[in-house]
Amino acid sequence: MEQKDDIEKIEHIQKKKIEMELSREQAILAKEKQINENHKLAVKVKKEVNVLLEEREKNIIERIEENKKVI
């Protein structure tokens, strides 16, 4: 009986080790996915900011040209 309990205990420990390893792998994959999503979002935001900056610069140049005509 004691041997059976020992085997069950060992099996339980092995099962827990496997579960922990799977959880670890899932956490690593989730972190990598989040990093990729953050990178994609950063690229998107940078593009949007560049477009806005270009529009702003264009507007400033247009206003300067209009002011030159007025003067």
pLDDT digits (tens, 9 = 90+) for 28-65: 999 999 999 999 999 999 999 999 999 999 999 999 99
Q: What is the Cα–Cα distance from 17 to 53, expressed in whole angstroms? A: 53
Q: What is the Cα–Cα distance from 47 to 68, expressed in whole angstroms? A: 32
Q: Is the per-residue pLDDT at 70 higher than 80?
A: no
Q: Is the per-residue pLDDT at 19 higher than 90?
A: yes
Which pLDDT value is given to residue 37? Answer: 98
Q: What is the Cα–Cα distance from 30 to 36, expressed in whole angstroms? A: 10
Instruction: Grade residue 68 by pLDDT with cuts at 50, 70 and 90.
Output: confident
pTM here is 0.65
